[in-house]
C-alpha cells in the first residue's frame, strides 16, 4: 500500500497528490510515468510523474477527473492509501544538446509539461513556455511555470485570462519572428499536439509529442498502447509504454491515436456516472 | 488382471453450460477413479515417463502411493521435483511429454496412464486436506533475487528456498503468478490455485515484492549492490506480435495478451468491472496455440455469439494441446483452418466524422491457404490460394501470433547478451553472459510452455546452488 502524503486541489477537476513511494522517487525522471491502482478491484491507470522528492521518498502526480477511476481517486485524501503504485515507466524526455526549447502544454497536459520545463531550466537551457486552457478557472501551475521559464505565455480559449486564443497563435508568431528553437515539446490533447506539429512544420523545427494512450500493464506486455509512426512512408507500430511516451511529432498518426483513444468512450461515460452516483449516495 | 486400455475420462462441465461461465471446465478425478487410474501404471523399471517430464518428477513412485491411497506421500514425492503441482497437473501438455513416453502407450498401443490427471488429483487432495504449513528450512546465509513471479521464477525461488536460500521475488505487476494469472483463464486454471502455490512459497520464507519493475524501479546491478549474490531473470513474454496487415489499429483489435489480461488479471469477466473489455458480438482469434484457444474460449464466455479461430495451417499442425482443441470444438468455436488474414476491415462514415461507430472493426478479410513444401521448421509451408479471398463479419479481432521477449531488462543491463529476437542468451545451466545472472522461460525462448519455463527455473536453481554453496 502506498500512502498519499499530501493533496492539493489545482482546479475543480485537476488534483495533485504526493505519494510515498521511495524506490520510484529515487529513479523517476521528467517524461516518465507510473501506473497506479486505487483499490483491489481497480483499473491500472498511467499517470505522468510531475515531480519527485527523493529525500522524502515521495512522487508527485497530477490527474484530471475524466472517468470513474480518477473520480474515485479524487475522493482519497492525505493519509489514505493507494493499492498499487509502480514505476518509473517509459523513457525520460530526451534533453541532450537542447539549449533553446519551447514547451507547449494544454489543459491537464501542463502537469506533465511543467516538470519537463523545470528540467530544461535546471540544465541551463532557455525555456519558453506556452500553456493553454479553456478558461481562467482551469488554469493550473502558473507560478511553477513562471519560476522555470525565461518567457511564459498563458492562453485561454475564451480570453478570460492571459491572451485570447489557442497555443499555436503565439508559437507561430515567435517562429515567424525568427526564433530558433532546438526543440518544441508539446504535451496535451492530441488535437492540440497535431496542430502544434502543423504550426512548426513550415519552419522545420523538431517537435516531440508526449503520447498518453490507453494502457494496462505499462511494462511492454499487452500492446494496448500501440501507436503508429509513419517513417519514410512506412507505417511502423510502436508501444508508448516502452518506446515512448515521447515520439517525433512529425511521424505520429494523430488521427489514428485520437480514434483509438475513444475505444471505450461509451463504457467510460457509463462507469463515470456510476462512480459519481456512488459518491452522491454517500 | 488385464489392464484397462482406456484412460479414465476426466469429468467436465457440460459444454453448453461451461461455455457461459468462468468456472473450471475439468472437474478432477474423484478418489475412486484416481486409484483405479493409478492401477493402470505398470510401474515399469526403466521409467520412460520420468525422462519425458521437463522437471523429472518421479512419476511411478507417486502413482504407486496413489494405488495405496497414500495421497499425502504422493504429494511429497511430486513436491520434491515440482513447486507447482496443482498448476502443472492442469496446464502441462502431458500428451507430448510424460504420457507420450508411457509404456502402455508406446508398447501396448493403449491410452497412456493419465499422469497429468493424477498429478492434479494429488495436488488438489493436498490443498483440500493438508493443513500443515510448509516449514522454512534453516537459512544458509545466501541471498538470491528472482525477477518475475511467473512459472520459471516461482520454480527457481521454490527450489532455492527449500535449500535454505533467502529468496526475494520482484514482480512488475500487482499480483504474483505471471502468465498463470494474467494469461491462463480462470476456467482452465483457477486463480485461487495459483495464490495457494504462491502462499506455499511464502511459508518457505520467500519474499514477494510486487510493483517492482526490474530494469526500471531497480536494476540488476543494484540488486547485487543490495547484497544478492545471484539473480535469476524470468521476466517472461514481452511485446505481442502483430501481422502488420492493414487495419490492425482499428478499435476492437487486441493482442491476446491484452484481451486475456483485461479478462483475467483485471477481472473484466466479472459484472460491472472497472476495467472495460469488448464483450459479445462476433470474434475472430488469429493463431493456433494454447493462448489462441484461451482467448477464443474467453470471448465465448464473455458473451460472444460466434467465435472463429483463424489459423493458416491445418489441424495437424495446430500447436495447441489436443484437450484444449477438443474442449473448444465442443463449446462451438468455429475453426477456420488453412485461412490467413490479409486485412482487418473497419467502419468509416465519410459523411459524419463524429459517427461513434467510426474506426471500429467490422470484419476480417482472409485468404485460403494450401500446404506446400516443408519449411525450416519441418512443417509444410502454407501458401495463399490466388483469388480465394473472403470476408468474415466480426466486431473483435484477437491477434494470438506470439510475443517477443520483454525488452526492459536487456535495455538496462550492461553486458547481458541477447539473440537477434531479443531472447537472453544462456548456457545449459541457464547462466547468461553476466556473472551470477541466470535466466529462463519466455525471456530466453520466446513464447513457450509453462512447464518448459519451470524446467528452466529448476535448472538455474541447481546451477545457482552449485555456484554459491561452494563459497
The yes-or-no verdict on residue A282 having pLDDT over 70 is no
Interface check for B467 against chain A (CB to CB < 8 A): the answer is: no
Q: Provide mean pLDDT across the span B83-92.
A: 88
Query: Distance from B53 to chain A by nearest Cα, in Å?
Result: 29
For residue A68, list chain B residues with Cβ-Cβ distance below 8 A. 274
The yes-or-no verdict on residue B224 having pLDDT over 60 is yes
Q: Provide mean pLDDT across the span A83-91.
A: 95
Chain B residue whose CA is closest to A45: B275
C-alpha cell at A235: 507505417
Q: Do domains B15-129 and B242-401 have the same CATH topology?
A: no
The yes-or-no verdict on residue B469 having pLDDT over 80 is yes
Interface check for B356 against chain A (CB to CB < 8 A): the answer is: yes
pLDDT at B244: 92
Of the options 3.40.640.10, 2.170.190.11, 1.10.1060.10, 1.25.40.10, the CATH number for the domain spanning B15-129: 1.10.1060.10
- Partnered with residue B334 across adjacent β-strands are B308
**Residue B69 pLDDT grade (very low, low, confident, very high; cuts 50, 70, 90):** very high
pLDDT at A265: 81
Q: Please give the CATH topology (third level) of the domain spanning B242-401.
A: FAD/NAD(P)-binding domain (3.50.50)
**Residue B1 pLDDT grade (very low, low, confident, very high; cuts 50, 70, 90):** low
- Interface touch B274/A41, C-beta < 8 Å: yes
Residues 261-280 of A with CB under 8 A from B: 262-268, 271, 274
pLDDT at B92: 85
Q: Which class does domain B143-238+405-469 fall in?
A: alpha beta
pTM score, whole prediction: 0.91
What residue spans define the domains of chain B?
15-129, 143-238+405-469, 242-401
- Alpha carbon separation from B242 to A160, A223, A246, A257 (Å, rounded): 47, 9, 22, 17
Query: Distance from A84 to chain B by nearest Cα, in Å?
Result: 7
**B34 vs B20: CA distance, rounded Å:** 28
**Residue B226 pLDDT grade (very low, low, confident, very high; cuts 50, 70, 90):** very high
Cβ neighbours of A26 (radius 10 Å)? 16
B418-455 pLDDT, tens per residue? Answer: 998 889 999 999 999 999 999 999 999 887 888 889 98
- CA torsion angle A144 A147 A153 A155 (round to 10): 10
pLDDT at B405: 74
Note the ipTM here: 0.90
3-state secondary structure of B452: helix
pLDDT at B131: 78
C-alpha cell at B291: 493462448
The yes-or-no verdict on residue B471 having pLDDT over 70 is no
**Residue B52 pLDDT grade (very low, low, confident, very high; cuts 50, 70, 90):** very high
pLDDT at B175: 94
Q: What is the overall mean pLDDT for chain B? A: 92
CB burial string A131-155: b at 16+ within 10 A, e below: bbbeeeebbbbbebbeebbeebbbb
* Cβ–Cβ under 8 Å, residues B37 and B114: yes
Chain CA centroid to CA A230, Å: 23
Q: Please give the CATH topology (third level) of the domain spanning A100-261.
A: Rossmann fold (3.40.50)
Least confident among A49-53, A240-244, A274-278, B178-182? A274-278
What residue spans define the domains of chain A?
2-89, 100-261
B102-153 pLDDT, tens per residue? Answer: 999 999 899 999 999 999 999 999 999 987 777 888 999 999 999 999 999 9
**B405 vs B403: CA distance, rounded Å:** 7
Interface check for B209 against chain A (CB to CB < 8 A): the answer is: no
Q: Please give the CATH topology (third level) of the domain spanning A2-89.
A: Elongation Factor Tu (Ef-tu); domain 3 (2.40.30)
H/E segment holding residue B54: none
By CB atoms closer than 10 A (0-12, 13-18, 19+), residue B245 is: middle
- Interface touch B182/A217, C-beta < 8 Å: yes
pLDDT at B404: 80
H/E segment holding residue B335: strand B334-337
The yes-or-no verdict on residue B375 having pLDDT over 70 is yes
Size of the A and B interface in Cβ pairs below 8 Å: 113
A118-173 pLDDT, tens per residue? Answer: 999 999 999 999 999 999 999 999 999 999 999 999 999 999 999 999 999 999 99
**B360 vs B395: CA distance, rounded Å:** 7
**A8 vs A49: CA distance, rounded Å:** 15
Q: What is the overall mean pLDDT for chain A? A: 93
For residue B218, list chain A residues with Cβ-Cβ distance below 8 A. 23
Residue B187 has φ and ψ, to the nearest 5°, of -70, -15
pLDDT at B466: 95
Q: Give the rounded percent of residues in chain B with a pLDDT score beyond 70.
A: 100
Interface probe for B, chosen from A221, A235, A244, A267 (most Cβ of B below 10 Å), is A221
Q: Which of B261, B267, B276 sits opposite A267 (nearest CB)?
A: B276
pLDDT at A281: 56
Amino acid at each position: 500500500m502506498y500512502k498519499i502524503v499530501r493533496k492539493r486541489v489545482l482546479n475543480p477537476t485537476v488534483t495533485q497528490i504526493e505519494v510515498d513511494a521511495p524506490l520510484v522517487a529515487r529513479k523517476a525522471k521528467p517524461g516518465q510515468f507510473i501506473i497506479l491502482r486505487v483499490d483491489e478491484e481497480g483499473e491500472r491507470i498511467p499517470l505522468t510523474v510531475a515531480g519527485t522528492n527523493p529525500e522524502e521518498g515521495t512522487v508527485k502526480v497530477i490527474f484530471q477527473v475524466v472517468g470513474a477511476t480518477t473520480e474515485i481517486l479524487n475522493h482519497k485524501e492525505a493519509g489514505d492509501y493507494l493499492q498499487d503504485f509502480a514505476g518509473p515507466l517509459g523513457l525520460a524526455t530526451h534533453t541532450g544538446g537542447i539549449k533553446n526549447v519551447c514547451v507547449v502544454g494544454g489543459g491537464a497536459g501542463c502537469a506533465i509539461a511543467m516538470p519537463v520545463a523545470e528540467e530544461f531550466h535546471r540544465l541551463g537551457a532557455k525555456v519558453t513556455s506556452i500553456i493553454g486552457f479553456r478558461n481562467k478557472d482551469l488554469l493550473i501551475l502558473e507560478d511553477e511555470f513562471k519560476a522555470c521559464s525565461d518567457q511564459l505565455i498563458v492562453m485561454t480559449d475564451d480570453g478570460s485570462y492571459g491572451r485570447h486564443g489557442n497555443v499555436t497563435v503565439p508559437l507561430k508568431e515567435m517562429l515567424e519572428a525568427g526564433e530558433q528553437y532546438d526543440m518544441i515539446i508539446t504535451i496535451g490533447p492530441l488535437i492540440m499536439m497535431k496542430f502544434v506539429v502543423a504550426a512548426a512544420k513550415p519552419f522545420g523545427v523538431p517537435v516531440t509529442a508526449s503520447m498518453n494512450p490507453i494502457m494496462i500493464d505499462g511494462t511492454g506486455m499487452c500492446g494496448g498502447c500501440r501507436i503508429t509512426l509513419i517513417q519514410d512512408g512506412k507505417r511502423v507500430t510502436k508501444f508508448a509504454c516502452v518506446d515512448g511516451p515521447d515520439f517525433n511529432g512529425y511521424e505520429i498518426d494523430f488521427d489514428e491515436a485520437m480514434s483509438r483513444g475513444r475505444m471505450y468512450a461509451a463504457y467510460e461515460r457509463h462507469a463515470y456516472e456510476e462512480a459519481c452516483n456512488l459518491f452522491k449516495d454517500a | 488382471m488385464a489392464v484397462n486400455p482406456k484412460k479414465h475420462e476426466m469429468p467436465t462441465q457440460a459444454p453448453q453450460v461451461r461455455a457461459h461461465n468462468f468456472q473450471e471446465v475439468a472437474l478432477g478425478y474423484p478418489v475412486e477413479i484416481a486409484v483405479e487410474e493409478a492401477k493402470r501404471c505398470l510401474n515399469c523399471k526403466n521409467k520412460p515417463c520420468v525422462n519425458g517430464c521437463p522437471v523429472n518428477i518421479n512419476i511411478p513412485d507417486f502413482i504407486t502411493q496413489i494405488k495405496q491411497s497414500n495421497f499425502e506421500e504422493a504429494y511429497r514425492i511430486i513436491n520434491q521435483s515440482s513447486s507447482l503441482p496443482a498448476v502443472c497437473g492442469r496446464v502441462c501438455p502431458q500428451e507430448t511429454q510424460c504420457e507420450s513416453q508411457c509404456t502402455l502407450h508406446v508398447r501396448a498401443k493403449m491410452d497412456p496412464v493419465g499422469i497429468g490427471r493424477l498429478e492434479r488429483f494429488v495436488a488438489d487432495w493436498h490443498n483440500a486436506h493438508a493443513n500443515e504449513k510448509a516449514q522454512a528450512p534453516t537459512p544458509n546465509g545466501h541471498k538470491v533475487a528472482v525477477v518475475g513471479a511467473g512459472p520459471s521464477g516461482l520454480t527457481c525461488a521454490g527450489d532455492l528456498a527449500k535449500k535454505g536460500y533467502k529468496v526475494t521475488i520482484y514482480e512488475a505487476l500487482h499480483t504474483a503468478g505471471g502468465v498463470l494469472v494474467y494469461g491462463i483463464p480462470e476456467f482452465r486454471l483457477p486463480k485461487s490455485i495459483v495464490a495457494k502455490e504462491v502462499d506455499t512459497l511464502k511459508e518457505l520464507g520467500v519474499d514477494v515484492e510486487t510493483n517492482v519493475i526490474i530494469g526500471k524501479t531497480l536494476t540488476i546491478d543494484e540488486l547485487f549492490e543490495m547484497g544478492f549474490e545471484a539473480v535469476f531473470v524470468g521476466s517472461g513474454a514481452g511485446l505481442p506480435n502483430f501481422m502488420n496487415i492493414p487495419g490492425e489499429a482499428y478499435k476492437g483489435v487486441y493482442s491476446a495478451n491484452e484481451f486475456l489480461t483485461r479478462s483475467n488479471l483485471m477481472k473484466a469477466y466479472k459484472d460491472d468491472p472497472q476495467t472495460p473489455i469488448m464483450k459479445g458480438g462476433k470474434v475472430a482469434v488469429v493463431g493456433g496455440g494454447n493462448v489462441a484457444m484461451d482467448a477464443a474460449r474467453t470471448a465465448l464466455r464473455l458473451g460472444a455469439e460466434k467465435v472463429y479461430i483463424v489459423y493458416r495451417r491445418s489441424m495437424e499442425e495446430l500447436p495447441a494441446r489436443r484437450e484444449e482443441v477438443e474442449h473448444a470444438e465442443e463449446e462451438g468455436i468455429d475453426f477456420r483452418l488453412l485461412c490467413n488474414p490479409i486485412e482487418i476491415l473497419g467502419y468509416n462514415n465519410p459523411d459524419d466524422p463524429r459517427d461513434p461507430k467510426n474506426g471500429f472493426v467490422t470484419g476480417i478479410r482472409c485468404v485460403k491457404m494450401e500446404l506446400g513444401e516443408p519449411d525450416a521448421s519441418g512443417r509444410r509451408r502454407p501458401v495463399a490460394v490466388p483469388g480465394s479471398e473472403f470476408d468474415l463479419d466480426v466486431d473483435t479481432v484477437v491477434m494470438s501470433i506470439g510475443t517477443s521477449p520483454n525488452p526492459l531488462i536487456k535495455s538496462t543491463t550492461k553486458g547481458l547478451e541477447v539473440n537477434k529476437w531479443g531472447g537472453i542468451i544462456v548456457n545449459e545451466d541457464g547462466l547468461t553472459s553476466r556473472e551470477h545472472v541466470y535466466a529462463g522461460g519466455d525471456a530466453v525462448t520466446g513464447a513457450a510452455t509453462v512447464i518448459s519455463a519451470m524446467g528452466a527455473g529448476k535448472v538455474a536453481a541447481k546451477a545457482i546452488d552449485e555456484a554459491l554453496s561452494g563459497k
